[in-house]
Amino acid sequence: MKAETETLCLSIEELRQKLAEKTVSFRDAEQLWGSVYRPRARGVVENLLSYVPSRELIVLLEMGNQRLVKSDEVTCIEQPLTEELASVHLDTVVGQLRRLTGYLPIEANA
């Protein structure tokens, strides 16, 4: 799981770099983010959040081993990508993904 997350982070960083160097148009980057990277990032974040203890999350509902949480990470990912803030937005998503891997148990870090 950690390797998958890091691969995604590197891909998002590459997109940010291409935007900064203007080797990809914002329109193309926005389309790529919305169709490929945003859905993948959201899925990974939702998976990683399952490892975060309830005491460190805003839990809206908990029943047995199921819980509904409010997540700043998901909220950030779902924000529209804007040309002015694209670099900050993508860096923030990468930082959140990497931070959440810290909650993985040792055996899931491979």
pLDDT tens column, 54-66: 888 777 787 777 7
Number of domains in the chain: 1
User: Distance between CA atoms of 92 and 77, rounded to whole angstroms?
Assistant: 9
Q: Give the model's pLDDT for residue 9.
A: 98
pLDDT at 96 over 60: yes
* Closest alpha carbon to 73 in 65, 51, 25, 83: 51
Residue 59 neighbours by CB under 8 Å, 6+ apart: 67, 68, 69
Q: Do 67 and 61 contact (CB within 8 A), yes or no?
A: yes
Which residue, among 97, 101, 90, has the nearest Cα to 26 in the 3D structure? 90
